[in-house]
Amino acid sequence: MTDVFRETAAQPRTEAVPLSHLSLELGHLYMEDLADGRKGLRRHFERVRPWADAARADLAARTTGGRPRMSTCFLVDDYFSRFSTPADLLPLVLEEAERAGLVIDYLARESACAVADKVPLAQAVAGRLVESPPPGSYGARPPVSESGWLANGQRSPAGRSPQAMRRAEPWQPPSETNARRHSVFVDVELWDEDKDGNRTWSCPFLAAVWQLARLGLLRNEGEAVLRPRDASLGELPVEWDELPPLVRLNADADPFSAYRTCSVLPARFLSVEHAVRVILDQTDVDTGAVAQISRRTDNERQPMPGSVVERVSYVFYPEP
């Protein structure tokens, strides 16, 4: 047997991050959500409050030994559209959350899921996608790195002109790789590009990056990314780019990242989050980060699913 020697410096250390038991998302905010102003925010948080209470109670029942750790977070879209200003909008959001009996511990900008502190998070996650080729696939479609599309199974074969003396092949339906008798086939657009090659990441892909950040599974050359920074209402800027990617609004908050996540969202997000699960299921997450979390859950006697996607849960409430 031949011994293999490696430079210690060649093996980057995986930085550990503090972890809660649960990261509870209290909502996404897009420009259209502000159509009703304060009234719309009030209605949203009133719908969220019972589910937040239920999540806290469920966590307390699940946690064995020690105090249950739960942090809350809220995501504001400054990627697809810029509206209002942090100085005007965030106090309004926090006031309405407090009115409903909720505390927002952390607030994130959606653009931070693309690039945070000059680290291209979305591009890094795209580089870790591993397509699951379904049985019988023959590579007629380009890989996800070229097409920007990711599916959870076999797409319908592209129509081909029959050769001379041969019959045309009949149409075949798409099929889900792990279907339970019948397929629920999903084909997700991860990005598009303009004529100059500038890439715009899709909402589902940025949401998948957001979930990985909340699960404490993002690293850049071993270092933790999307670090929370403290801020107060009196220090909020008037430009979104001047606001840190992830802001800690509650000095007493439990850690931002957690073993599990739960998101309370309007029902219109269901299709987006289905796409998120397809993406997470085909992402090769950082093995060092996964190993760290596994050791810590073992030490805390917190049973954890092996699959990352099974650590993510949702509550979808119907909209009026």
Q: What is the pLDDT of residues 284-307, one digit of tens each?
A: 999 999 999 999 998 888 888 889
Cα four-point dihedral sign 138, 144, 145, 148: positive
pLDDT at residue number 137: 57
Percent share of the chain, pLDDT over 70: 89
Cα four-point dihedral sign 135, 140, 143, 144: negative
pLDDT at residue number 120: 96
Q: How many degrees, rounded to 5, is the angle at CA 48 between CA 83 and CA 59?
A: 125
Burial 81-112 (b: 16+ CB within 10 A, else e): eebbebbebbeebbebbeebebebbbbbbbbb
Tell whether 194 is covered by a domain. no
Tell whether 127 is covered by a domain. no
Q: Averaged over 233-239, what is the pLDDT? A: 84
| Residue given tokens 């810590």 in the structure block | 296
pLDDT at residue number 63: 86
Structural domain harbouring 68: 14-110+206-267+287-317
Tokens found for residue 241: 């780019």
β-strands 229-230, 246-248 pairing: parallel
pLDDT at residue number 116: 95
pLDDT at residue number 64: 80
216 CA to centre of own chain: 11
Burial 269-280 (b: 16+ CB within 10 A, else e): beebbebbbbbb
pLDDT tens-digit profile of 244-278?
999 999 999 999 999 999 999 999 999 999 999 99
In whole angstroms, give the CA distance from residue 271 to residue 44: 19
Q: Cβ(126)–Cβ(145) under 8 Å?
A: yes
Kindly give the interhelix angle for 203-214 and 270-280, rounded to the nearest 10 degrees: 60
Of the pLDDT bands very low, low, confident and very high (cuts 50, 70, 90), residue 172 is confident
Tell whether 201 is covered by a domain. no
Tell whether 172 is covered by a domain. no
Q: Cβ(225)–Cβ(116) under 8 Å?
A: yes
Type of residue numbered 194: D
Tell whether 274 is covered by a domain. no
Of the pLDDT bands very low, low, confident and very high (cuts 50, 70, 90), residue 134 is low
Tell whether 157 is covered by a domain. no
For the chain, the residue count is: 320
pLDDT at residue number 124: 96
Q: Cβ(77)–Cβ(29) under 8 Å?
A: yes
User: Please, what is the average pLDDT of the chain?
Assistant: 88
Percent share of the chain, pLDDT over 90: 64
Q: Averaged over 166-174, what is the pLDDT? A: 73
Q: In terms of C-beta density within 10 A (0-12 exposed, 13-18 middle, 19 or more buried), how is residue 42 classed?
A: middle
197 or 233: whose pLDDT is higher?
A: 197
Tell whether 6 is covered by a domain. no
pLDDT at residue number 7: 47
pLDDT at residue number 4: 44
Structural domains counted in the chain? 1
pLDDT at residue number 5: 44
Tell whether 193 is covered by a domain. no
pLDDT at residue number 11: 56
In whole angstroms, give the CA distance from residue 253 to residue 105: 6
pLDDT tens-digit profile of 97-118?
999 999 999 999 999 999 999 9
* Helix (H), strand (E), coil (C) string for 233-296: HHHCCCCHHHCCCEEECCCCCCCCCEEEEEEEEEHHHHHHHHHHHHHHCCECCCHHHHHHHHHH
205 or 171: whose pLDDT is higher?
A: 205
Residue 234, sorted as left (phi over 0), alpha (psi -120 to 50) or beta, turns out to be alpha
Q: Averaged over 141-156, what is the pLDDT? A: 86
